[in-house]
Amino acid sequence: SKPPYICEVCGAHYKHKRACDIHVALHKGISDWKCEECNKLFPSKGALQRHNNIHTGKLNYQCDLCGKSFIHTSSFKMHKLSHS
């Protein structure tokens, strides 16, 4: 079954009301976590910190097989699939 909370702006589904409320606030331009470099808003401190790696160039993930480095874990995971 679908999660009970739905964003009225974009239709995103959430299991928890708090998560949906934070998401909707981002649509309205409301957030405590704003990037000082590009003014993008984030739902949490952790999300903002991960985003800041784009601006700092900090590469958190390195492939043991070829040495290529990545900012985001999702990109790193996709890259690892290229070795299999």
pLDDT of residue 63: 94
Dihedral angle sign, alpha carbons of residues 21, 26, 29, 35: positive
**pLDDT number for residue 54:** 86
Q: What is the CATH number of domain 1-30?
A: 3.30.160
Model pLDDT for residues 34-84, shown as the tens digit of each residue = 999 999 999 999 989 989 988 998 888 999 999 999 988 899 999 999 998
If DSSP codes are grouped into helix, strand and coil, which group holds residue 44? Answer: coil
Query: What pTM did the predictor assign?
Result: 0.61
Residue identified by tokens 């309205």 is: 28
Would you list the domain boundaries of the chain?
A: 1-30
